[in-house]
Amino acid sequence: MFRMNLKIALRNLWKNKVYTAINIGGLSIALAAFIIVVLYVNYETSYDKNLPNYDRIYLVGRSMPDFKTDYTPAPLAKAIRQNFPEVELAGLTKNMGFEMPVSSDHGKIFSSNALQVESEVAKMFDIDPRDGLPANDAGLKAYLPRPLYKQLFPKESMKPPQMVALGPSNGAQAEKVSGTIDRDDEHSNLKFDLLALGNDISFGDQDYGANNFKTFIQVKKGTDVKALQEKIDRLYKKEVVKAGVSPTDRRIAGRSVIFLDPLKNLHLRPAAGSDANYKVVMALFGLGILVMVIACINFTNLTIAQATKRAKEVGVKKVLGAYRFNLTFQFLAEIFMQCVLALIMGLIVAEILLPVFNNLFSTPLSLWRSNTTLYWQLPLLLLLITIISGIYPALVLSGFKPAAVLKGNLQTSYKTLWLRNALLAGQFGIAIIFITGLFIVNSQLKYMRTEDTGFKPEQVISIKNMVLYSQPWSFRDVREKISKIPGVNYVTVASDIPDGSKAGTMNYKIDGKEASSDFLYVDFDYFETLGIRLKEGRLFSWKFNADTANSAILNESAVARYGVKDPVGKTIRGCDIDYKIVGVVKDFKSQGFQTAVEPTVYTIKNPCGNFKTKIMINVDEQRMALVLTTLKSQWSSINKLDGDDFRYDFLDELYGRLFKKQEQLQAVFFFAAVLTIFIAVLGLFAFSAFTTNSRIKEISIRKVLGATDFQVLKLLNTYFIWIILVANLVAWPLTYMLAKKWLQTFAYRIEMPILPFLVAAVVTSVLTIIIVSIQAQKAVRRNPAEVLKYE
């Protein structure tokens, strides 16, 4: 029996080659897209999931009145370890914050992610050097990931420990690399290319006012995390009060400060950070599901459309004693065979497309390597699409009544007409969502690329530098040497550059009103270098000696936060210094378009701030190549402490990286729109062919009665155009809500455009007219005499 049903299934598939190819082809392409999306979602949601205590690791953060941060003071980890027995491990990490040359006699690398880590954090993250964790009194020991170690010491005989030089060649510090670490940190929240490991990286620091470490804890099984968070909060407040902070200070009074952020949230949804990654992952997953839905709809629609061809077979089998259950199982088995073929083809297409996806999203996805999750997901997916795509067609096919079928009285096509129309409308509705979404994403990206950001990153070079220019006079010699190069307009140095980096935050007070603001530690010509416009007052100038001691410039948002009228000349207090406000600059979008411009205070002197290391040079457009060549050849004499390793970035390229997620989303919508339109058009092609063939006698009779070819074409097109118009009317409100929600994630955004909705309607209508007309033309050209003859 099984062999006979298999033969029948294969013969039917071969007999209807075009429909079979459309069914399997459309489903395989959708499966390829969905498989890639599943791989990406698996990858993004499994950061650090291989850790044995993954669900018991937390990052300690602070919730301040105006922002959240995951930076904490050095002594907090030790205090948590000593006071709470439910905490198994607690430790600190600290990023070095600048690029550092690491060299040996055999090679050189540039470490841009040097990380100090305490041993207890190393245990949490399963970081295990080959020579084991350092002893209690060992101080800091340096380690390199094995691939980087091989670049410095290529010979097999060069085993650790080995000496390396940290820093520029003329001011390098000798350091011993104690060993290597066999760990791929690309899939971890703790990333490093140079690791300094020790039992205490705070070196006895007991200052609760300096928050420049990250604190990780690992709790025991069964710990009430919420209760622990409250206890740590009370401990923190107690310690900062001991350190001299008033109990009524707005930073701690009447509110919870400490929060515990689970490790599973840190990559996609950190409490103190952007959730842009999470939105892209969820958007991709949603798009993948919609693509699968449209493919399953296409499959179901075409299977139902061909139901009449199997009617007599069903009737004969029922007369011979077959039960409906047997027939349902048979048709499901046939559909399962098609789904298996589609899955195999989908895997092949996915393997071909993966390099393109990996390049776009900077991921190392692979179908076959380290992908145990996919092994159980694929069979589940196969079963799911078989049931979704096949259960209704199988029930329809097995439900034919033998008497009606064998008399030729089958009206199934009309009984299922409403369903087929709804499914076709659903297909195009999803395609309309993608088309409209693509144009809206394009409009927002165009706005972000062309809108005035408030500063001019073009023609600005950001030089990678290790020297700390903390005093106003310390940068003077470097500035003068660079300024003498023909083509250089302005030179400055600052603690941060406008590339999306978050500046430091501090409490400032004006006229008795205290609030937190970002602060930047800058130098002369900072605003001129970046083309930031002055609103009132003046900019920093060498003509005023006080600028190096106690002058400050605010942006418009800071003036608005403090509610100050006529701020120039008033005093703002912060970091135990009374600053005189000498100017106000216009807001500029240093952190992109998703985040509103933060209130910011700019000073030349700031003992509480980060070091000034970011050198920026504004260059004439016509002389860029000459300036870069000169800088490279003279860098060792210009910046003697930084050596001969001249490296730079263009500021506009660094700023452009803030648009990367939106550009990825744009690419995804483009491919999704093309894919869904392709699948919908395939379905429409087959469905219109079936509909036209089923109405061939009606068309012939109309032609005999005098209908012109145009009237017949209009009749057939009108039927499908109405379906497409309904699809547009249903899809538009849904698209509007989704697009509005997406646009609300931007602080600076476009108004909802109308044109994308009209374009989607025109595109789908024109495609429908073309496809249906091609099919209808074949029927119109047929001779009515041949169609209507009985024998």
The predicted-structure confidence for 492-547, as pLDDT tens digits, reads as follows 999 889 988 888 788 888 988 888 888 899 999 999 999 999 999 999 998 888 88
DSSP secondary structure letters along 432-491: HHHHHHHHHHHHHHHHHHHS--SS--TTEEEE-------SGGGGHHHHHHHHTSTTEEEE
Which pLDDT belongs to residue 286?
84
Residue with tokens 């046939």: 334
Using CA atoms, how far apart are residues 263 and 55, in angstroms rounded to an integer? 7
Cis before 270? omega within 30? no
| Helix/strand/coil percentages in the chain, nearest 5 | 50, 15, 30
pLDDT at 529: 95
Q: Mean pLDDT, the chain, as a whole number?
A: 83
68-69 and 551-555: which strand pairing?
A: unpaired
Please count the other Cβ atoms lying within 10 Å of the Cβ belonging to residue 725.
16
Q: What is the mean pLDDT of residues 323-344?
A: 77
DSSP letter at 576 equals: T
User: Residues near 622 by Cβ (< 8 Å), separated by ≥ 6?
Assistant: 487
CB-CB neighbours of 336 under 10 Å: 19
- The residue written with tokens 């003859």 in the block is 789
Mean predicted confidence (pLDDT) in 401-411: 56
**Segment holding 272, helix H or strand E:** none
Section 324-347 average pLDDT: 79
Of 628, 613, 653, 623, nearest to 492 (Cα)? 613
Output the pLDDT for position 401: 65
Lowest mean pLDDT: which of 393-402, 582-591, 736-745?
Answer: 393-402
DSSP 105-168: SS-EEEES-EEEEEHHHHHHTT---TT-SPPTT---EEEEEHHHHHHH--STT-PSSEEEEES-
- Over residues 771-780, the mean pLDDT reads 77
Domain-wise residue ranges, the chain: 1-45+272-415, 56-266, 465-646
Beta strand pairing call for 100-103 and 114-118? unpaired
Beta pairing class for 488-494 and 214-219: unpaired
Per-residue confidence band for 791, with pLDDT thresholds at 50, 70 and 90: very low
- Angle at the Cα of 17 from the Cα atoms of 15 and 18, rounded to 5 degrees: 135
Q: What count of other Cβ atoms lies within 10 Å of the Cβ of residue 168? A: 23
pLDDT at residue 199 above 90? no
pLDDT (0 to 100) of residue 243: 84
Query: Which pLDDT does position 587 carry in this prediction?
Result: 94
Q: Give the model's pLDDT for residue 683.
A: 74
In this structure, what are the phi and psi dihedrals at residue 603, rounded to the nearest 5 degrees? Answer: -140, 155
DSSP summary character for residue 210: -
Please check the confidence at residue 71 and state whether its pLDDT lies above 50. yes
Residue 251's pLDDT band, with cuts at 50, 70 and 90, is confident
Question: Percent of the chain scored above 70 by pLDDT?
Answer: 86
Query: How much is the pLDDT for 112?
Result: 84
- pLDDT at site 685: 75
pLDDT band at 234 (very low <50, low <70, confident <90, very high): very high
Is residue 20 classed as helix, strand or coil in its secondary structure? Answer: helix
> What is the C-alpha to C-alpha distance for residues 425 and 57, in angstroms, rounded to an integer?
48
pLDDT score recorded for residue 710: 78
Give pTM, 2 decimals: 0.81
Residue 490: its pLDDT value, please?
Answer: 94
Per-residue pLDDT reduced to its tens digit, 448-499: 988 999 999 999 999 988 788 877 778 888 899 999 999 999 999 998 899 8
User: Is 13 or 217 the better-scoring residue by pLDDT?
Assistant: 217
What's the mean pLDDT in 549-557?
93
Model confidence at 413: pLDDT above 60:
no
75 close to 202: Cβ distance less than 8 angstroms: yes
Q: Please give the Cα distance from 145 to 365 (Å, whole number).
A: 21
* Spatial separation of the C-alpha atoms in residues 60 and 267, rounded to whole Å: 15
Chain CA centroid to CA 654, Å: 17
pLDDT of residue 312: 61
617 with 624: CB under 8 angstroms?
Answer: no
pLDDT of residue 618: 96
User: 213: helix, coil or strand?
Assistant: strand
- Angstrom distance (rounded) from CA 234 to CA 227: 11
pLDDT computed for residue 309 by the predictor: 62
Q: At how many degrees (to 10) do helices 755-781 and 417-450 cross?
A: 140
Task: List, in sequence order, every residue forming a beta bridge with 57; answer none if it has no partner.
Answer: 218
CB 591 within 8 A of CB 454: no
> Which structure tokens are listed for 443?
């409009």
Question: Averaged over 268-282, what is the pLDDT?
Answer: 83
What is the pLDDT at residue 711? Answer: 80
Asked whether the beta carbons of 581 and 569 are under 8 A apart, the reply is: yes
Reading the block at residue 675, the tokens are: 């894919």
pLDDT at residue 303 is higher than 80: no
Q: Which residues pair with 516 in a beta bridge?
A: 507
Helix, strand or coil for residue 204? Answer: coil
- With tokens 């009309």, the residue in question is 414
Question: What would the mean pLDDT of 321-326 be, rounded to a whole number?
Answer: 66
> Which range (209-213, 656-660, 691-695) has the least confidence?
691-695
Mean pLDDT of 654-667: 84
Query: Which residues, 6+ apart, have CB-to-CB distance to 87 below 8 Å?
Result: 80, 81, 217, 218, 219, 220, 228
